[in-house]
């Protein structure tokens, strides 16, 4: 767990065998608040929509499931970024908007590590074994996923995939449905099935030939990422990084996206916004100076990018200190 983080435990109910109207739960956080909406569909999909914000300290939410079943899960951040630790996996991973995070924990809990002073919106989905088998039929899946339910299934795994931009509206609509009761359940169910279908398709697409990297290629991709972070305001071009790493520009682009889920330029943009968040929260540097340090020529462009990523403007975040 992160040093200085406050820990909150949350136990959610086992899934029911039939659909039910959405249910709401509120959770106070130290200096913040979180609201959970649970949706259980007739097709074997259970989703928990989390929407809230953290206070001056980072927060760890230990989400535990009382069910005796080990189910495959899917985490989808929306306009936010945070760390998640899956029991049985070696290290926590930062996940962010625009990605699918498939997982199966070795134990029946997951540790969500939320940054301070942040808007947090995420979708957590679990799939029943029956639905998973129907979706899997005839599909070419990554080894740990394909092994689920078999004798030599892994104790735990996680898989990170890039979200198809065409599915972003469906994820956003999960947080903006204006309906209530049974109509809301039907509306959310339609969006959830669309999202799950797209996420499942990403498993087959990203497991296609050409995305598997050797240990040497992974090391070169990480060298390229380090080169980008070394000069965030004036980063080297992909051509320069391709020459320096020995991969060449085309293969570096392919390998970088296969490893990190996004191209180098988008990856650096996300890292710069995370650096900006830390500088705003932990230093007295002015917003204009932070923007220029990170390579933004206009503060307005920086503010717009920051709000898209975190849901608040740099000024709003600074005033919360």
206 contacts: CB under 8 Å, gap ≥ 6: 142, 161, 162, 258
CA–CA dist 169, 261 (Å, integer): 19
- At residue 261 the predicted structure's pLDDT band, cuts being 50, 70 and 90, is confident
DSSP 155: S
| pLDDT digits 0-9 by tens, 113-142 | 999 989 999 999 988 777 777 777 777 777
Distance between first and last Cα of the chain: 22
Where do the domains of the chain lie? 6-206, 215-319
| pLDDT digits 0-9 by tens, 291-301 | 999 999 899 99
pLDDT of residue 150: 58
pLDDT of residue 299: 92
pLDDT at 1 over 50: no
Name 10's bridge partners.
63
SS3 content of the chain, % helix, strand, coil (to 5): 40, 25, 35
Domain 6-206: give its CATH architecture. Answer: Sandwich (2.60)
In this structure, the chain runs to a length of 321
CA–CA dist 218, 216 (Å, integer): 5
- Determine how many CB atoms are found less than 10 A away from the CB of residue 154: 14
pLDDT at 143 over 70: no
146 contacts: CB under 8 Å, gap ≥ 6: 136
- At residue 70 the predicted structure's pLDDT band, cuts being 50, 70 and 90, is low
DSSP 276: H
pTM of the model: 0.64
CA–CA dist 78, 174 (Å, integer): 10
> Which CATH number does the domain 215-319 belong to among 1.10.3720.10, 1.20.120.80, 1.10.10.60, 3.40.640.10?
1.10.10.60
């Amino acid at each position: 767990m992160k040093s200085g983080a406050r820990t909150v435990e949350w136990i959610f109910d086992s899934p029911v065998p039939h659909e039910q109207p959405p249910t709401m739960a509120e959770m106070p956080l130290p200096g913040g608040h979180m609201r959970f909406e649970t949706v259980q569909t007739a097709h074997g999909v259970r989703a928990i929509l989390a929407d809230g914000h953290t206070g001056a300290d980072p927060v760890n939410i230990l989400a535990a499931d009382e069910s005796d079943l080990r189910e495959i899960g899917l985490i989808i951040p929306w306009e936010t970024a945070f760390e998640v630790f899956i029991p049985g996996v070696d290290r926590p991973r930062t996940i962010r908007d625009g990605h699918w995070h498939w997982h199966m924990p070795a134990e029946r809990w997951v540790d969500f590590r939320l940054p301070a002073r942040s808007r947090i919106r995420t979708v957590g989905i679990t799939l029943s074994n029956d639905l998973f088998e129907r979706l899997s039929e005839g599909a070419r899946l990554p080894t740990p996923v394909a092994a689920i339910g078999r004798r030599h299934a892994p104790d735990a795994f996680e898989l990170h995939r890039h979200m198809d931009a065409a599915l972003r509206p469906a994820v956003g609509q999960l947080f903006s449905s204006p309906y209530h009761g049974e109509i809301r359940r039907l509306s959310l169910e339609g969006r959830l099935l669309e999202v799950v279908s797209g996420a499942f398709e990403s498993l087959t697409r990203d497991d296609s030939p050409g995305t598997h990297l050797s240990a040497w290629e992974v090391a070169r991709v990480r060298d390229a990422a380090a080169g980008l972070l070394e000069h965030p305001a004036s980063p080297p071009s992909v051509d320069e990084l391709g020459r320096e790493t020995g991969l060449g520009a085309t293969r570096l682009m392919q390998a970088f996206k296969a490893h990190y889920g996004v191209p180098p330029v988008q990856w650096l943009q996300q890292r710069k916004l995370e650096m900006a968040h830390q500088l705003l929260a932990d230093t007295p540097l002015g917003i204009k100076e932070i923007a220029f340090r990170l390579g933004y020529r206009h503060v307005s462009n920086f503010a717009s990018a920051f709000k898209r990523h975190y849901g608040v403007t740099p000024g709003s975040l600074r005033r919360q200190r």
